[in-house]
Structure 1
Amino acid sequence: MPDDEFLSRLRRFNTDYFPQYQARFKDLVEQGQRPSTLFIGCSDSRLVPYLLTGAGPGDLFLVRNVGAFVPPYDGMLNKKPEAGGHGQEREPHWVGLHGTAAAIEYAVLTLKVEHIIVCGHSHCGGIRALYDEQPEEAPNLRAWLELGREAALPVQLSSEALRRTEERSVVLQLERLMDYPMVRARVERGEISLHGWHYVIEAGEVHVFDVKSGSFVPASKAEHSGNGPYLAHPEDGGGPAERQR
């Protein structure tokens, strides 16, 4: 996109868009932001949270990163791949501090959001990268992808395997969220609902994760938007991620 086009768009925002929402922006400045929802989504340019949710200014607290991953609360990645799984088994190791983790804490403790959405999508380059070697010049990307490694399947990559991995990754991130003490406590008290979404770009439809069935259901057929409470079901031998394997 030419630089001048950016300037034209900035001017159009000021002259065309802003006047329609000026009162709303004034309120958000004077009263502060009060978003009800933390949206954790992939950085992919085809994922547009405001279009998906119909949200307006001040409605969503947005966090976007490669793959829509959630770092572990304590900074330790200590889950090993299953025997015969994709990748090498590793001892627990420190993965560092991340802005995504800080945003989760801020959204829950300061903004007091009522919903947390983890939104993956079809044809995700970040998930596909779990099956490929990454260049040595990208040490940060290589390290970041470890946060999704557990979702990878011990198979050759195919469109079906990619879709399944994308869905498994969403569930993995929901599980990680439940390891954040402030999130778990509020979910168990019914103050926060967790939502797992998989946006199918080519269909223009979001598939929502149903905790009880352990599956993703098209929004056109779903009975809810994927809200919890997100709790494990002892009778089936594990939480929802186990049923996604």
Structure 2
Amino acid sequence: MTDELLARLRRFNKDYFPQYEARFRDLVEQGQHPSTLFIGCSDSRIVPYMLTGAGPGELFLVRNVAAFVPPYDGTLEDRGCDAEDHRGCQHLEAGGGDRQWVGHHGTAAAIEYAVLALEVKHIIVCGHSHCGGIRALYGDVPAEARNLKAWLDMGREAALPVQPTPEALRRTEERSVVLQLERLMDYPMVRSRVEQGKLSLHGWHYVIEDGEVHVFDVQQGRFVPASTAEHSGTGPYRDLRDAERDTGALFNEIDDAWAPPR
């Protein structure tokens, strides 16, 4: 039986690496200096280097189920805990309300490292069409998948109180991207750099079947195809120098205070 993985490793060493050997050696000698942190879904159909046209050393990548961003303090608003499904969850009294402890995650550590050590200039949160993780918010998860159940709790705020039709799933995918942008702003090192104009956040929704990325436009309160967009996506802020407008949540379906101006 042919070992396809071994064959691919040999092709990389023989055919691909020689084309970029000088670049890789420079990245070793000078260190990596990526400009962008790309937070994307683990879905095999998402290829960040193809989407962005980036080469070695340009992207710092984080991949997880549904491209979720864990809360900075490790807690979510407590929505009730099924003792059978969430045997490991803990409840905390914080800020006058119940909080559910969901723990710290590698994704959170990667965000801190990318911003503090690598000093990236951009953070992209990239969701996509036909996301299995988003669909799982509306269905049952196998009992053995205890970690997956706990992970999905971080996306439930984006789910809609409707049946999972194709349109509802698309809207949930988009809402989830915006929710992750909001969470990023709870990271002190992210917020401070956004306020200083040193860091930009970008919300993307990749429609696989169309080969088109839709970028979030906070002024319009919607996702716009990149082919007609005026920018590469904006984060959950308008002008943070105006304290009255910095209300936290956005997206007109999540918080009406952030609906597009009339």
TM over 0.5: yes
Task: State the 1:163 CA deviation.
Answer: 0.1
Give, in whole Å, the separation in 2 of the partners of 1:14 and 1:237: 50
1:149 maps to amino acid? R
Does the CA-based 8 Å contact 1:211-1:240 persist in structure 2?
A: no
Confirm or deny: 8 A CA contact 2:69 2:108 kept in the other structure.
Answer: yes
Whichever residue aligns with residue 65 of structure 1, its letter is N
Correspondence for 2:130: 123
Query: Structure 2 counterpart of 1:36, which letter?
Result: S
* Structure 2 residue 178 is the aligned partner of structure 1 residue 171: yes
**1:26 alignment counterpart:** 25
Unaligned ranges ≥5, structure 2: 81-96, 255-262
Contact 2:218 2:251 in 1 (8 A): no
- 2:146 matches 1:147: no
Are the equivalent residues in 2 in contact too, given 1:168–1:241 (CA < 8 A)? no
Q: What residue in structure 2 maps to residue 68 of structure 1?
A: 67
Q: Structure 1 residues 237, 109: CA separation in 2 closer, same or farther (over 3 Å shift)? A: closer
Alpha-carbon distance, 1:241 to partner: 2.8
List aligned pairs for 1:60-99, cutoff 5 A: 60-78=59-77, 91-99=98-106
Provide the residue aligned with 1:162 in structure 2.
Answer: 169
Any conservation in 1 of the 2:36–2:124 contact (CA below 8 Å)?
A: yes
Alignment of 1:1-245 (within 5 A): 4-78=3-77, 91-228=98-235, 230-231=237-238, 241-245=250-254
Alignment CA distance shift 1:240-1:206 (3 Å)? farther
Mapped partners of 1:74, 1:236: distance in 2: 24
Matched residue SS, 2:216: strand
What is the CA deviation profile of residues 182-219 of structure 1, one whole-angstrom value per residue up to 9, with x for unaligned ones?
Answer: 00000010000000000000000000000111110000
Q: Which residue identity does 1:64 align to in structure 2?
A: R
Percent of pairs identical after alignment? Answer: 75
Shift of 1:242: 3.9
- Contact 1:193–1:230 (CA under 8 A) maintained in structure 2: no
The Cα shift of 1:229 comes to 7.5
Q: Which amino acid aligns with 2:216?
A: F
Taking the aligned partners of 2:222 and 2:184, their CA distance within structure 1 comes to: 18
How far is the alpha carbon of 1:127 from its aligned partner? 0.2
Describe the superposition over 1:34-83 as per-residue Cα deviations: whole angstroms up to 9, x where unpaired: 000000000000000000000000000000000000000000112759xx
Q: List structure 1 segments (4+ residues) > 6 angstroms apart after TM superposition.
A: 232-237
Please state how far the C-alpha of 1:91 moved relative to its aligned partner.
3.4
TM-score with structure 2 setting the length: 0.85
Greater RCO (CA < 8 Å, at least 6 residues apart)? 1
RMSD across aligned positions (CA):
2.1
Give the helix-richer structure, 1 or 2.
1
* CA distance in 1 between partners of 2:137 and 2:111 (Å): 24
Q: Residues of 2 paired with 1:200 and 1:138: CA distance? A: 28
Secondary structure at 1:39 match in 2: strand
Aligned partners of 2:66 and 2:127 also within 8 Å: yes
Query: Given residue 12 of structure 1, which amino acid in structure 2 is its aligned partner?
Result: R
TM-score by length of 1: 0.91
Distance 2:235 2:9 in 1: 40
SS at match of 2:19: helix
Q: What is the count of residue pairs matched by the alignment?
A: 236
State the distance in 1 between where 2:78 and 2:194 align: 23
